[in-house]
Structure 1
């Protein structure tokens, strides 16, 4: 049904598919899900909601937990690869808490340097998702993400842009797109509250789509939206697709 209305790919939240996303997740399960998606005329874009089912893990916890978090993320990269996906979007679940910004940045750089070393043959790409301040206290600006990507300078780490976060962080600007054009590999079209596209009136999708065209962005635009009507889940997806086709398709 999704392919019939124009969708080409699916961004997967692992914990919404498998009850155990780590030790008990087999290659057979991953392969079966990939074939199921491809049989529907879609391909896997990548993974999102990476740590949703792992609340005890985190990049800014103690060294033992950080090592386990790295192992889990490397595992998810292999899952993404085996699904035929490319991007892993690291969004929420990265609060630095009492750590100051400088210490948190040093930890993050060390963490990601080890991650890209271990996954460079996977053909996948990790992206820190810049989010609003109510969602995280580390990497709010696109430029925060860009600074880390530039310093590490590795093809397994790039930039993702989130439409609602641009609004929340006052970064709705042509300069933002221009400055990260060569490092941008993924884009979320969404709304505050993850409602259907265009519903809030706060996100100017016409402008944002125009910026993507201007920088010749040629990768996936992913609709990030929660289920709004359980009795008719496709109703709001149809509405979002009409906005997607109107402002982002080219």
Structure 2
């Protein structure tokens, strides 16, 4: 199990400083929200991508990929009924895959709840078909660049589309491509009826990435969610990929959140008798 953290927690800090901070705390991976780099990922040229990758490497941390893919953008929509919008959205996903690979990463996490709401007058089944069409258009670039796009189910309070791991897996199977997998997020899974360990047991075989957070939007260990059975389930099903801390409440400060989250996760592993 490898631990990463998402960079938007640090807000406007210089990228080089963020890399040093997360590495010093003990993380080995950094997950990036594109809007922290530029309004559009296509605004980040090859020279800057190389610089960011080098800064991370010099600090001893690996850029693992990108998330919040459509956040703070306009004109993109995963399941639009307008084919031109779906083509534009797929093109942007391809650009994101290129950027992730250029930065040294191999993951795209597709959350972005506002850019996937079901269009008015469209059924959920129709929305799934439209989303599958968009994702299928990007699969060639995903495969060429060695990047896996991970579909992130979100709670009903966040979106009306892909609200459960089962629905995310259904879309994944419709696309039917090895570079499109499922993403599991503790906060989102907290809204489902099965327990989080049960969801993990059902879906981990086709899960490409995992976000660690609490239902209260804070870091692991900062709420009521017990991560010991969650980590036990991950280990029992041989998950050896990234566990990335993603928080939405940035108080009290990035270093405290990052440090306490990592310490808690390592303690959970120790409690269940797993090596850290």
- Name the TM-score, length of structure 1 as normaliser: 0.92
2: CA distance, partners of 1:84 / 1:112: 22
| 1:238 matched residue in structure 2 | 259
Task: Give the conservation status (yes or no) of the 8 Å contact 1:227–1:233.
Answer: no
- Deviation of the 1:173 alpha carbon: 4.2
Aligned-partner SS, 2:86: helix
Partner of 1:187: 210
Q: 1:51-107 deviations in whole A, cap 9, x for unaligned?
A: 112133112332222211111111000000111111100002311142211110111
Does residue 106 (structure 1) correspond to residue 125 (structure 2)? The answer is no
Q: Distance in 2 between matches of 1:193 and 1:57?
A: 29
Distance 2:256 2:88 in 1: 40
Q: 1:188 Cα deviation (Å)?
A: 0.3
Which of 35, 42, 48 is the aligned partner of 1:15? 35
User: Where do residues 157-176 of structure 1 align in structure 2 (5 Å cutoff)?
Assistant: 157-176=180-199
**Deviation at 1:19?**
4.2
The match for 1:59 is 78
* CA distance in structure 2 between the aligned counterparts of 1:75 and 1:8, rounded to whole angstroms: 25
Give, in whole Å, the separation in 2 of the partners of 1:53 and 1:228.
18
Q: How many corresponding residue pairs?
A: 247
Which residue, 18, 36, 45 being the options, matches 2:55? 36
Instruction: Name which of 242, 245, 252 aligns with 1:223.
Output: 245
The aligned counterpart of 1:3 is 23
> 3-state SS of the aligned residue for 1:194?
coil
Q: 1:212: how far off?
A: 0.4
Root-mean-square deviation (Å): 1.8
SS state of the match for residue 178, structure 1? helix
Contact 1:97 1:137 in 2 (8 A): no
Name the SS for the 1:112 alignment partner.
Answer: helix
Compare 168-177 and 49-58 and name the one that shifted more: 168-177
Distance 2:170 2:192 in 1: 17
Q: Distance in 2 between matches of 1:197 and 1:173?
A: 14
Instruction: Tell me the SS of whatever aligns to 1:116.
Output: helix
Give the structure, 1 or 2, with the largest relative contact order (CA under 8 Å, sep 6 or more): 2
Equivalent residue runs for 1:56-95 within 5 Å = 56-61=75-80, 62-92=82-112, 93-95=115-117
* CA displacement, residues 151-171 of structure 1 (integer Å, 9 cap, x when unaligned): 333221011100011111223
More helix by share: 2
Unaligned residue ranges in structure 1 (runs of 5+):
none
After TM superposition, which residue ranges in structure 1, 4 or more long, deviate above 4 angstroms?
none
CA displacement at 1:135 relative to structure 2: 1.0
Structure 2: give runs of 5+ residues left out of the alignment. Answer: 1-20
Distance 2:111 2:264 in 1: 24
* Aligned with residue 213 of structure 1, among 224, 227, 235: 235
Q: Confirm or deny: 8 A CA contact 1:50 1:89 kept in the other structure.
A: yes
The 1-side partners of 2:266 and 2:239 are apart by 15
Deviates more, 1:221-230 or 1:131-140: 221-230
Match 1:146 to one of 165, 169, 173: 169
